[in-house]
Structure 1
């Protein structure tokens, strides 16, 4: 059939039009529709239950903005910090008997965040406060040396430096100053009290310097027993080895390097 015959046939209506006898309905019907409604209803119920549980947990655990955060447990409460590889870098554990922190450096900052009040690492402990106060009855106990520019007691308390079983040593390259502004200064030891100056002098400046009865009495003989009991004025003598002793004062000096006190070991 050529083009002209096709046009003529079309005009005359002899060409048959396609017929659509079958009709296909669109939508969900039957059990599929009931299952969809049931599934949507179930999702709605789950959402409502989750919302109610979230509100209940927030209320019970005090997760609010206006009140502190409270984390409660019958045992330990542990907070971990990890890096990108999942390795543990820090841990804080609050237990019934202790609080433990495991980290490379532990710091306590001031309220405004401008000053480190306390820091601890593997090498040292730094205290950034102006005053370190120890309120225990035994004071502060240090196993090794202590370096500080100033040690001061409270206005109503005494300052006591004590080493019960070992030696108490205070050293400084430019001198050590011990001052009692409104009280007395007392140094007590069981054996020897040594004041040593390698390049300078030991200067005692006071209105009255008193040496108690603990100094030995030198130049003593049994024949002078009665006279020594009546003696009230003594002379302070020093031996070549640095020992001090008292000698009855007379018209002339009674200090002798061969005194019995100087000969003692």
Structure 2
């Protein structure tokens, strides 16, 4: 075969092979292309709306480098101006108000302050509710503003008041269900002091004596039944310019019970063996008799 024929044959074979290869288009066409553009448009709109909302929130909440609105972040904590509302529990170590304003904690139901230890156990609780104030702790103390002097303390065993004066201004006074131990009970100035037990016995005891004095008034002791003055080791001393024993019963000797005494102006005080005191008409000699009617029925 000649060289020219070989070249022609090679060219014809190459052209035939190239015509037999399939041609595939590259890219997105039809509904796929439209969907892609639609998703891109939605994503772009979402980004614009998100950016606009972010700018609006920053504008409304007043975000800054120091904090957010009335809430400022300082080196010593948070500084909050105005009224704040917390929907969830708040855990802080200290809450302080401004120097020229008061601190107000408000709630529609109650306000509860809890104290816990490092293990999370409740050690103290203060609840301010519509029905009262309740404190649960091992010891409750009230101290003065100057010097921190203890004024009031209470625990499970006792209640202690360290004030110089305890004043009760109610019209009914103070009511104690059990015994009261105190070194001094004194009424206010120009007021009367009254110790009363309407249905029970009133008892005053002391290991070294009981002193009852009225410096500028009268002392009145009244009882429905018996009035007992008892001293186990000492004496009972009635020291006054005048001592009056009113409404003493008139004693008449049993032997002369039927005799009528004339109107008498002077009497003598007699004491029965039982200790009862009565009066008897004064005569030239003593008319006190152990067999008096008063002593027999005492």
- 1:102 matched to 2:136? The reply is yes
* TM-aligned CA deviation for residue 49 of structure 1: 3.8
Partner of 1:167: 201
Question: How do residues 83-94 of structure 1 correspond to structure 2 at under 5 angstroms?
Answer: 83-94=117-128
* TM-aligned CA deviation for residue 50 of structure 1: 3.6
Partner of 1:262: 295
Where in structure 1 are there 5+ consecutive unaligned residues?
A: 1-30
CA deviation digits over 1:207-244, x for unaligned, max 9? 1111112x11101634315x1xx211111100111000
Q: Is the CA contact (8 Å cut-off) linking 1:237 and 1:245 kept in structure 2? A: yes
Find the aligned partners of 2:104 and 2:197 in 1 and give their Cα distance: 46
TM-score (norm. length: structure 1):
0.78
1:224 counterpart (260, 279, 289): 260
Question: How do residues 196-215 of structure 1 correspond to structure 2 at under 5 angstroms?
Answer: 196-213=230-247, 215=248
Q: Is the CA contact (8 Å cut-off) linking 1:91 and 1:103 kept in structure 2? A: yes
2:213 counterpart (179, 183, 190): 179
Q: Is the CA contact (8 Å cut-off) linking 1:241 and 1:262 kept in structure 2? A: yes
* TM-aligned CA deviation for residue 79 of structure 1: 1.2
- 1:72 matched to 2:106? The reply is yes
Q: Is the CA contact (8 Å cut-off) linking 1:58 and 1:64 kept in structure 2? A: no
* TM-aligned CA deviation for residue 37 of structure 1: 9.7
Q: CA RMSD in A?
A: 2.8
Which of structure 1's runs of 4+ aligned residues deviate more than 4 A?
34-48, 61-65
- Secondary structure at 2:259 match in 1: helix
- 1:141 matched to 2:175? The reply is yes
- 1:58 matched to 2:73? The reply is no
CA deviation digits over 1:130-149, x for unaligned, max 9? 11111111111111111100
Find the aligned partners of 1:48 and 1:106 in 2 and give their Cα distance: 48
- Secondary structure at 2:295 match in 1: coil
Where in structure 2 are there 5+ consecutive unaligned residues?
A: 1-40, 72-79, 86-96
Q: Is the CA contact (8 Å cut-off) linking 1:61 and 1:70 kept in structure 2? A: no
Find the aligned partners of 2:170 and 2:120 in 1 and give their Cα distance: 43
- Secondary structure at 1:80 match in 2: strand
Partner of 1:115: 149
